[in-house]
Amino acid sequence: MMAPSDSGPGRRRNEHSHRAILGAAITLVADRGFENVTVESIASHAGVGKQTIYRWWRSKGEVVLEAINDGFADVAAFPNTGDIIADLRTQMENVTVKLATSDFGSAYRGLIAAAQSDPELARKHIEQIIEPASVACRKRLIQARDMGQIRSDADVQSIIDLLYGAIYYRLLLSTRPLATEQVAQAIDLVFDGIRGTG
């Protein structure tokens, strides 16, 4: 999403159309799957001209990225109860539940697929979704490490890759449904490897 012109002459961006586009995108992607949604179908569903979409987004993928990013709002805050193991478990479960929601998960899979051949979209995906989650997780892990809750020699980024890797692997590469219990087992194994003496 581009920044709206903050001032100057000319008609301002129509917020109603903006929301209608994001809404149509999410609805259509849920209905037909990411690949079967076209910019034209989003435009006609939103009662908007195609040009209005191309004016503010580079592609269908970026529309969906913005819509999905909104949807991740409720798992943005990393819990901090003082118990790192419990907090990681909570957060990973929240993320898993979110992704296991079939409409949302399927839209997100479509977005990730689109990003494989669109480096700019990939960059924005990392920047807006992956990195923030990673940073929050890293911050919490470092705090825990400082408190001795996890081993001081464990590489923080590797822990993050293991935790999220287990979830995304099941999201993208498994015929089995993504379930919290399964993910929990993998997480527990990581806990066993990283537990500190504190």
Partner DNA sequence: TACTAAACGAGACGGTACGTCTTGTCTTAAA
Partner DNA sequence: TTTAAGACAAGACGTACCGTCTCGTTTAGTA
Q: How far is the CB of 64 from its own copies (least distance, A)?
A: 13
The count of other CB atoms within 10 Å of the CB of residue 170 is 20
Residues touching its own copies, count (CB under 8 A): 44
Q: How far apart are CA 190 and CA 168, in angstroms?
A: 16
Contact call for residue 170 and its own copies (CB under 8 A) = yes
Angle of helix 102-115 relative to helix 84-100, nearest 10 degrees? 90
Q: Does 174 bind its own copies (CB under 8 A)?
A: yes
How far is it, in rounded angstroms, from Cα 114 to Cα 68? 14
- Footprint on residues 18-57 left by DNA (CB under 7 A): 18, 36, 38-41, 43-44, 47-52, 54-56
Measured CA distances, 16 to 39, 67, 68, 118 (Å):
18, 15, 18, 28
In angstroms, rounded to a whole number, what is the distance separating the alpha carbons of residues 74 and 56? 25
Give min distance, CB of 151 to its own copies, in A: 8
For DNA, give the closer residue by CB, 121 or 194.
121
Report the site for its own copies in 12-71 (rule: CB under 8 A).
33-36
Q: Where on the chain is the footprint of DNA (CB under 7 A)?
A: 4-5, 7-14, 17-18, 36, 38-41, 43-44, 47-52, 54-56, 59-60
